[in-house]
Structure 1
Amino acid sequence: MDFNQQIIDTFRANGGEVSEPVQFGKGLVLVHVPRKDGSIRIAPLAAIHEDGAWHIVGSAGGSPKHPAWVYGLRRTEQVDLEVPGDPVETLQVKVEEITGDERDAWWDRFKAFSSGFAGYEKTAEGRVFPIFRLVG
């Protein structure tokens, strides 16, 4: 079983809490991203929930390239989002890419959320990580 599928299965089985294979707690959401071919990819992503919106970042583990799901979100206006709860809840949310100073402030929040994000800057070869707001 691949790593992402293991996280997705654990998320769904445990009310959105993931402690295996990596300790994420309840800081993940599952985003149903449309692909060009019409299929759906489910991406488990770190999220910051604030004011009724979930914020996610296209860090790709510090890769110099955006993850494929970024392009899917840029092509759509809304997606399904699975969020922690008992049971896990699926919401339909609007997609908004955050830019400029607001994006920079959210990037600082993600680095405070997890020190791993700060480390990604060293390997991304100057790539600016896109940040999206998902609002129900």
Structure 2
Amino acid sequence: MSTALRLVQKVSATRAFAKLAPHVVPAVDRAVHRLTRGKVLPSARMLPGVVLTVRGARTGLPRSTPLACVPEETGTWLLIGSNFGRPTHPAWSANLLAHPDAEMSRKGGTVPVRATLLTGTAREAAWQSAVRFWPPYAAYQARVDREIRIFRAARREAGDEVSGA
């Protein structure tokens, strides 16, 4: 592991980062992603990243959020609702609970996905994988009383929608 990556992991696990990052990282990611037509996501220099677009739980309007993700060997992605170790669940996770069909923009392309909230042993296995992939997730969980939500996003056909969604 590179020294730079170790440093980023150490900084990412701090409370100061948890206070500042949610205001800075997504804003920079959104702006650069838009300017490069989806080809560049600055935070993805350290972690694989996507821009998740999902309908809002209350409004039904599309909401786009830059997220780190953990790619799995099966071609699926883990989306970790850490919210940088803040006490509340991120809004995008509530949106996915209400509307599991979403799109992920990655490296200039868009992939339609269906997200499933993981529970029980599937969640535990995914959590262990996520912490191996990005150790600061463990620090985030230690700081909060809530169980961090983990979703598995799997590719779906563009016209394949959940009934009633």
TM-score range (shorter-chain normalised) is 0.7 to 0.9
SS of aligned partner of 1:38: coil
8 Å CA contact 2:47–2:68 kept in 1: the answer is no
**Which residue, 70, 78, 91 being the options, matches 1:68?**
91
SS of aligned partner of 1:66: coil
Pairwise mapping of residues 50-129 of structure 1 onto structure 2 (< 5 A)? 50=72, 51-84=74-107, 88-125=108-145, 127-129=146-148
TM-score (norm 1): 0.83
CA 48–111 in structure 1, closer or farther in 2 if over 3 Å, else same: same
1:121 Cα deviation from its structure 2 partner: 1.9
State the number of aligned residues.
128
8 Å CA contact 1:54–1:135 kept in 2: the answer is yes
1:134 Cα deviation from its structure 2 partner: 1.0
CA 58–26 in structure 1, closer or farther in 2 if over 3 Å, else same: closer
8 Å CA contact 2:29–2:41 kept in 1: the answer is no
SS of aligned partner of 1:64: coil
* 5+ long unaligned stretches in structure 2: 1-22, 156-165
1:63 Cα deviation from its structure 2 partner: 1.7
CA 130–26 in structure 1, closer or farther in 2 if over 3 Å, else same: closer
Q: Tell me the equivalent position of 1:27.
A: 48
Q: Considering fraction of residues, name the structure with more strand.
A: 1
1:56 Cα deviation from its structure 2 partner: 0.5
TM-score (norm 2): 0.69
SS of aligned partner of 2:30: helix
Between Structure 1 and Structure 2, whose CA radius of gyration is higher?
2
1:131 Cα deviation from its structure 2 partner: 0.7
CA 52–68 in structure 1, closer or farther in 2 if over 3 Å, else same: same
**Identity level (%):** 27
* 5+ long unaligned stretches in structure 1: none
8 Å CA contact 1:17–1:26 kept in 2: the answer is no
8 Å CA contact 2:78–2:151 kept in 1: the answer is yes
